[in-house]
Amino acid sequence: WFDEKVTYDPVTGIVEYFINNVKQLTFNVGILPQTASPTMSLTFSAWGWYTGHEHDFDDLIVIQDYGHL
Give residue 69's pLDDT band: very low, low, confident or very high (50, 70, 90). low
* Alpha-carbon span 54 to 23, nearest angstrom: 24
Q: What is the pLDDT of residue 23?
A: 97
Burial string for 17-55 (b: 16+ CB within 10 Å, else e) reads eeeeeeeeeeeeeeeeeeeeeeeeeeeeeeeeeeeeeee
Q: Convert the pLDDT of each residue in 38-62 to its tens digit.
A: 777 888 888 888 778 888 888 888 8
Whether residue 10 has pLDDT greater than 60: yes
